[in-house]
Amino acid sequence: MENSRALHDELKYIVGESGILPEAQIADYTFDGYVPKVVVLPASVQELQDVLRFASKKTLAIIPAGAGTKLGIGNLPEKVDIVLATTRLDSVVEYEPADLTVTVESGIRLAALQAVLAQHRQYLALAPPHSDRCTIGGVVSANASGSLRLQHGTARNQVLGLRVVHGNGNLVKSGGKVVKNVAGYDLNKLYIGAFGTLGVITEVTLKLSPIPMREVILTAGFESVQDAVKTGLNIVGSQMLPMFINLINFEAGGATDAKKMTLVAGFGGDPETVAWQLAQCRGIMEQNGSMGVTVIEDKLQRQQLWSVIREFPAPSRDTKTVIVKLNLKRTDIAEFAAKVVNEGSDHGVQVMALLGSGVLYLAIPVTSDTDFQVLAKTITQLRQSVTEARGNLIVETAPPELKQHIDVWGPLGDAAGLMKQIKARFDPNGLLNPERFISSI
């Protein structure tokens, strides 16, 4: 097995000395207690291909990454040889404001892209955690989205085309650069959400949205989870078309009360439409027994509240919190949220439900007294209940002590065989993010 110094010396002939991250900065790409032997930052697609071909010949494990914000997601790795970071591939390739489309290299940071788009009053309608640091490639690889998925969908719904390098160094293209692109198989969907197990994304074409002329957030407290969820689902099922409608039980930006179940509803659009939405939403909240409705339109206050909500499920490599994601039917949110709130209140468990999307996040504090075997058993029991309700449960963030006792993804069922066949075809040597994805893919 190659040692770090030898790898450094061999790889610098491919990417140059500037393409090797200094040892003092490798901590940014350390996760689950694993320190990569080397972090490589290719400056071109050709360099990236050459690195993958080199790793394939040497049978070295490659961990694809952007800024490293999502490296903590996944099971414990079999080995970590090279972290391949795309942050130097950060240019805007083509931008057509009139078509509401943009093509970028995968290493561009979401915040940097949004700044470019804002000059034309456009934006990419995704709001994942770490929005200031995360890269477009990382967002797409993780199919991250955030609360805006209610109105705009996840990354899967906003990607038009991809360029991807497979483990053998071959560059492939999927999709296109226009919204109405329906020819052939939709291979984009294979790569989106695959966490780099099938290939390294180098280029992404995205569809964009206009920035709303007016944005407002409403908050309303409720005595019970059931009342809050019922009200939220009434709003989702109405003609109001909110940007997001979330349920939380924690203080956020000074606008909510941790002692209440709070609905947070966001609206955006032209001023007249938003005014109508606000009146309708306030009416539904008050009719369903809300304990006061607050309208937040001040930009700074909105940003403070929105930041807390956006960052709530943020993955972290050195976390003191376990983040669990439940994907449920909308109608099951109340039952599971109430169960968690009632049973976890003494342990400081916080919840956030994306009511229109059937997603329930749990934040479970970790302390020096945490028994990880007991916690793993508790999560497994909850997963069983979720599975019986035809949902699934994923542990998105956890210290390695917990990962030793639980599969963070859970059982896959009948689809496992097909997924392993796809993995074998796209990455026959099993070198891309090995053992970390579903069914140890």
Query: 125 near 136, Cβ under 8 Å?
Result: no
pTM of the entire predicted model: 0.94
Question: What are the sequence ranges of the domains in the chain?
Answer: 1-211, 214-311, 321-413
Annotation: CATH topology of 1-211: 3.30.465
Counting every residue written for the chain, the total comes to 441
Q: What is 201-265 written as a DSSP string?
A: EEEEEEE-EEPPSEEEEEEEEESSHHHHHHHHHHHHTSSS--SEEEEE-S--TTSS-TTSEEEEE
Please tell me what DSSP assigns to residue 70: T
Written as tens digits, the pLDDT of the chain (441 aa) is 457 888 989 999 999 999 999 988 998 899 998 999 999 999 999 999 999 999 999 999 999 999 999 999 999 998 899 999 999 999 999 999 999 999 999 999 999 999 999 999 999 999 999 999 999 999 999 999 999 999 999 999 999 999 999 999 999 998 877 666 555 567 889 999 999 999 999 999 999 999 999 999 999 999 899 999 999 999 999 999 999 999 999 888 777 777 789 999 999 999 999 999 999 999 999 999 898 899 999 999 999 999 999 999 987 666 689 999 999 999 999 999 999 988 887 788 999 999 999 999 999 999 889 999 999 999 999 999 999 999 999 999 999 999 999 999 998 878 888 899 999 999 999 999 999 999 888
Query: What is the distance between the alpha carbons of residues 98 and 393, in angstroms, rounded to a whole number?
Result: 41
From the list 342, 341, 318, 326, the residue with the least C-alpha distance to 398 is 318
CATH number of 214-311: 3.40.462.40
What class does CATH assign to 321-413?
alpha beta
